[in-house]
Structure 1
């Protein structure tokens, strides 16, 4: 028989999973092996965009599994063609490249940016600008682009010619950008870095700087895409159009799939043989993602994301008035970060653990921020019940942090 201790016996120790092991889920609820029921405000880290076991996704994967799973990229397939066509119709993009994850999508974007710069301008135009506290994946290239040393320490030598500016500080970009810059990569809302939205002026400024220096502007929308912010992609909320956009997580609704979207001109640099993915664009993943895109691109659903955002914010504000635990509550759509006050810094994981005891799943975004990324169609009743459980968990958390009374 296997249990949580089996993980320590047989799995590489790069994760430290919770004690509970989920057995099944439905909508915004999960059950563990002891049949305890949990409200899920984590969404598999912004992946389960339509909750667990959405009936249309279950039906789609069952039907496609009886037709075709994999054919390799020696051939194309209808689900991939349909999904790519819909993504180009719904976004700025004209071309799509499919892969399996966000890291792979960002890897492709960064490679394309350098290849395009070399083809069109100069082989010396290789500099990439990213931002402190950013996160772009775990490949060696993407972890180097990410602005958090804890993810790259010990893996050197790292890919070079990558600089890091300060998020929401245009002057810090102006100080380092040059005609040797091939790309600027940015999350419209930093996820792992603390759920920090970019200002519209900042993104507009980046767009202008990239135009000035013939650099591609890459929007990493792995976490902010697929309806998470109340638009299909966050760039549509900001009205700032990138040259390359990466997407994964929620676009598969839980099935592994990623994509890089770009223009015809830039895509032309990835000629046959320059990049690829064995499983990328497989019929099974694309069939599921097509249904996800059909559902989440509905205007009423996207508007409801914003309505649910306001419901969360109102409830979190009420909790904060009671317990005075959060310094800031921020985010966009159903990607919400609650930054702990300085006296609670470093203890976001403790709050997550206590929430679990109250049958609630939440996330952290660094040591000081609690993060919520629930299903985009979470029922209001589950929001209300989840917030009540969070209130109880925070009440216990604050009580446990209080200094003992002097005798």
Structure 2
């Protein structure tokens, strides 16, 4: 059987796969089994933050694998403790952190912390409702899926947990708050919702009002976190201090890891939550190396310089191709081109792939760009050269 036949026969078909077979990578470049090179402006959906085949990350993983990969959370894990401290220091937040394996798990844990916050020590539920935004995306597990403000994603899998309500926008959140509301959960830039940033002033006003009313602010930074928006957290960029922040994707550079950071220390006790694999030696050692690499790039000015160059190039396409694009959207290296009504983003993405450029779709009609954070100017130029060729074929 061919590899494609094996996949079709034995893997549950939950993905609309493109059957290209990548076999290796080098920073922003991917290479298929035939030796063709592709410029990757998707980075594994914002996961491969320090690029493909990063030698420093590979060396750290290899070194740790030779010693210990996993012992379970029943025992001390040195890189886990070091990573928790590092996240607190880099973000400037006074937090404790729980480590999981994915963004969905991190958001599940955040929801549990919020529910615990709304319950007294005798187990009586005082507050339980969580407000999220329409067009949000918080994960594929049952509870995270219900927290996702997209009705189309709620088909087939009910009954769902109660207690979630959806605001049309941040201004609408205030109308939905009642005596049972325990938390508001938002993304500062909606990724799956079309690379849509929230207004900074609105977010700051919301954070202040929630603090005044003793309602938790949960910020889902699964996609925006770990320098994707130019700062360690988008929350740092927005100058807010949430009660809970969730992370995943770029934190491990490709090694699965999720994190829940909370300012409410000791809110959970032994037995309230757990994870067999979460925060093991391998994933936390990888995350420490990722943070080292990205902090160096940020401090050198290379990251900020690349953010500006990338943004300028995307804006130029709105001017040059007004029949295709309505506007450029996003923050940092989480960006998109909103496609004009009557045009289909999928056609642009397919055309780009034919030119060996990987870009993604977001929302109903946005071409999404999530390049590696170690992107070089040469890789960027090659990618945009291929993008322009693709646009010329439409």
TM range (shorter): over 0.9
- Alignment pair present for 1:117 and 2:118: yes
Q: Answer whether contact 2:30 2:37 (CA < 8 A) is retained.
A: yes
Distance in 2 between residues matched to 1:290 and 1:313, nearest whole Å: 28
1:131 counterpart residue number? 133
Distance in 2 between residues matched to 1:353 and 1:4, nearest whole Å: 20
**Residues 343, 302 of structure 1: alpha-carbon distance in 2 compared, 3 angstrom cutoff:** farther
Distance in 2 between residues matched to 1:48 and 1:300, nearest whole Å: 17
Distance in 2 between residues matched to 1:299 and 1:18, nearest whole Å: 32
- Higher mean alpha-carbon deviation, 351-360 vs 23-32, is at 351-360
Distance in 2 between residues matched to 1:321 and 1:4, nearest whole Å: 41
Q: Answer whether contact 2:317 2:325 (CA < 8 A) is retained.
A: no
1:61 counterpart residue number? 61
Q: Deviations over 1:217-254 (max 9, x none)?
A: 00100000011011011111110110000011001001
- Higher mean alpha-carbon deviation, 248-257 vs 145-154, is at 145-154
C-alpha RMSD of matched pairs (Å): 1.6
2:38 counterpart residue number? 38
Distance in 1 between residues matched to 2:212 and 2:367, nearest whole Å: 38
For residue 124 of structure 1, report the CA deviation from its aligned partner. Answer: 2.8
- Alignment pair present for 1:160 and 2:162: yes
Distance in 1 between residues matched to 2:34 and 2:351, nearest whole Å: 18
1:381 counterpart residue number? 378
Distance in 2 between residues matched to 1:360 and 1:291, nearest whole Å: 28
4+ long deviations beyond 4 Å = none
Q: Specify which of 142, 145, 167 is matched with residue 143 of structure 1.
A: 145
1:49 counterpart residue number? 49
Distance in 1 between residues matched to 2:272 and 2:64, nearest whole Å: 30
1:81 counterpart residue number? 81
Distance in 2 between residues matched to 1:93 and 1:382, nearest whole Å: 38
**Residues 37, 11 of structure 1: alpha-carbon distance in 2 compared, 3 angstrom cutoff:** same
1:293 counterpart residue number? 291
- Higher mean alpha-carbon deviation, 275-284 vs 294-303, is at 294-303
SS in 1 for 2:273: coil
2:335 counterpart residue number? 336
Q: Answer whether contact 1:301 1:377 (CA < 8 A) is retained.
A: no
Q: Answer whether contact 2:104 2:139 (CA < 8 A) is retained.
A: yes
For residue 201 of structure 1, report the CA deviation from its aligned partner. Answer: 1.4
- Alignment pair present for 1:97 and 2:98: yes
**Residues 356, 301 of structure 1: alpha-carbon distance in 2 compared, 3 angstrom cutoff:** farther
For residue 301 of structure 1, report the CA deviation from its aligned partner. Answer: 5.0
Distance in 1 between residues matched to 2:174 and 2:318, nearest whole Å: 38
- Higher mean alpha-carbon deviation, 17-26 vs 209-218, is at 209-218
1:283 counterpart residue number? 281
1:315 counterpart residue number? 313
1:187 counterpart residue number? 187
1:350 counterpart residue number? 347
Distance in 1 between residues matched to 2:391 and 2:297, nearest whole Å: 35
Q: Answer whether contact 2:194 2:362 (CA < 8 A) is retained.
A: yes
Distance in 2 between residues matched to 1:350 and 1:227, nearest whole Å: 30
1:405 counterpart residue number? none
Distance in 1 between residues matched to 2:109 and 2:94, nearest whole Å: 15
Q: TM-score, normalised by structure 1?
A: 0.93
Distance in 1 between residues matched to 2:299 and 2:385, nearest whole Å: 25
Distance in 1 between residues matched to 2:232 and 2:65, nearest whole Å: 27
Q: Answer whether contact 1:119 1:269 (CA < 8 A) is retained.
A: no
Q: TM-score, normalised by structure 2?
A: 0.96
For residue 295 of structure 1, report the CA deviation from its aligned partner. Answer: 1.8
- Higher mean alpha-carbon deviation, 13-22 vs 84-93, is at 84-93
Distance in 2 between residues matched to 1:201 and 1:122, nearest whole Å: 36
Distance in 2 between residues matched to 1:159 and 1:61, nearest whole Å: 38
Q: Deviations over 1:99-145 (max 9, x none)?
A: 10000000000110110121379613001000000001111111100
Distance in 1 between residues matched to 2:112 and 2:28, nearest whole Å: 37
SS in 2 for 1:129: strand
For residue 358 of structure 1, report the CA deviation from its aligned partner. Answer: 0.2
Structure 1: gaps (5+ residues): 398-407
For residue 204 of structure 1, report the CA deviation from its aligned partner. Answer: 1.1
For residue 47 of structure 1, report the CA deviation from its aligned partner. Answer: 0.5
For residue 299 of structure 1, report the CA deviation from its aligned partner. Answer: 6.5
Distance in 1 between residues matched to 2:298 and 2:208, nearest whole Å: 33
**Residues 25, 245 of structure 1: alpha-carbon distance in 2 compared, 3 angstrom cutoff:** same
Distance in 2 between residues matched to 1:317 and 1:4, nearest whole Å: 38
Structure 2: gaps (5+ residues): none
- Higher mean alpha-carbon deviation, 211-220 vs 296-305, is at 296-305
